[in-house]
Structure 1
């Protein structure tokens, strides 16, 4: 169904979709006018640049270094940082980056390594005035503190599920949080979406993440919109207009009709 309002999926791993062309067509038919394709490592960063070049004006690349993948790249972090820096002029953001203190992640990508990599990308963000897409699972306080202390002024804490105390700091700093399909059922994420002002909210799918048995894709941002609007007690068109405007400004996306 074609919607009467414009939507932006602010976070998707497009290189992981099985049939990207079909997924993009479904997204367009669902009212999506732009997708931010995030990278996680050298391979995916290359892929999102290629995808964005193919779908110029619709797909917008972000280049990242995911904390959960650092164990695979510990010996080449400097090389990956050089790649990100060399290609930042083609990217709308740095991400997905951040910290992850889940025991399975820390067991292979230690906290020291995560902090070193995150600090390096935050420095890049400050140097080139790029927004940062922050992964903060179980590391909410440290993720915020490092971002704030680095002097980064533009950031979105993707799929935030952390404590209210850190959420307040995120919002007071003027950073964004993003709603995913988990807003349909996840208590902490629902609380985040309820408490965040529209001025600080984006929509995303994190596709192809599986939510309660459903493998997501960018077209599902319409479901995110409906759930977020219901949670906030607002008409969907109001939430759509505000969150789309937020994404356009944060990522400096132009030329969207």
Structure 2
């Protein structure tokens, strides 16, 4: 059984050699390492070069980083992404975050303008995008469709069914995290999405769990698989094969099943 963790902040994880070995032991053959700003983009490029048999870089500009970035730094990061775009399998993590703490420091208008610019870059170079859309599902989808990006995944989707239907109609994907074990909105979205539009991820090193909290690492994509299997009624083996094929196709990975 082969698995791909399609969204992981690998640069934030310590003891990486052992973490990656543990992931390999449960069948993880590929990891998409996402960046969120200039510094982390450099780091994921370094990690992808060091672990070039299994780590693939995505270069990003996260909305939660905008409060710390002036327009010059935003432009610097966009230029960096363009400079290294040939080395990236995707642009991400990018998106919108309408949580009140984020909006207080980065307005909706500024977030939307930056997202539009970075998706235009992805369209120019025909790269897929990994979109963060907390409380901003409709606006993120509207920008993606207006720009005309072909391939997008709404990572850790928890939004309404109406937006889910619309993003699926555009050919877009959603991803299932270990929160599929307990988060009702996320479980509902995973249940409603067709299997050929599902990816698996961990968003490591995010903490999960209602009572027994734990910090995710790439091997926990197996938890995403198991919970998604329970939700959909599809056996683990078939689900692993389908979601891994989806990831290979979406990110155009140089991997064979």
TM bin (shorter chain): over 0.9
Give yes or no for the alignment of 1:24 onto 2:23: no
Shift of 1:177: 0.1
Is the contact between residue 248 and residue 255 of structure 2 (CA under 8 Å) also seen in structure 1?
Answer: no
1:193 maps to which of 184, 190, 193: 190
**TM-score under structure 2 normalisation?**
0.97
Partner of 1:250: 250
Partner of 1:232: 232
Is the contact between residue 8 and residue 33 of structure 2 (CA under 8 Å) also seen in structure 1?
Answer: yes
Shift of 1:255: 3.5
Give yes or no for the alignment of 1:45 onto 2:30: no
Is the contact between residue 179 and residue 228 of structure 1 (CA under 8 Å) also seen in structure 2?
Answer: yes
Partner of 2:150: 153
Quick one: distance in 1 between partners of 2:117 and 2:15? Answer: 34
- Show structure 2 runs of 5+ residues with no match: none
Displaced runs of 4 or more, over 2 A: none
1:15 maps to which of 11, 14, 24: 11
Is the contact between residue 133 and residue 155 of structure 1 (CA under 8 Å) also seen in structure 2?
Answer: yes
SS at match of 1:61: strand
| CA root-mean-square deviation | 0.8
SS at match of 1:113: helix
Shift of 1:111: 1.1
The total of aligned residue pairs comes to 253
> Residues 102-181 of structure 1: matches in 2 within 5 Å?
102-181=99-178
Partner of 1:208: 205
**TM-score under structure 1 normalisation?**
0.97
Quick one: distance in 1 between partners of 2:6 and 2:63? Answer: 19
Shift of 1:74: 2.3
Is the contact between residue 131 and residue 154 of structure 1 (CA under 8 Å) also seen in structure 2?
Answer: yes
Shift of 1:250: 0.6
Quick one: distance in 1 between partners of 2:182 and 2:112? Answer: 31
- Show structure 1 runs of 5+ residues with no match: none
- Any idea what the Cα deviations from partners look like across 1:202-229, whole Å, max 9, x if unmatched? 0000000000211000000011101001
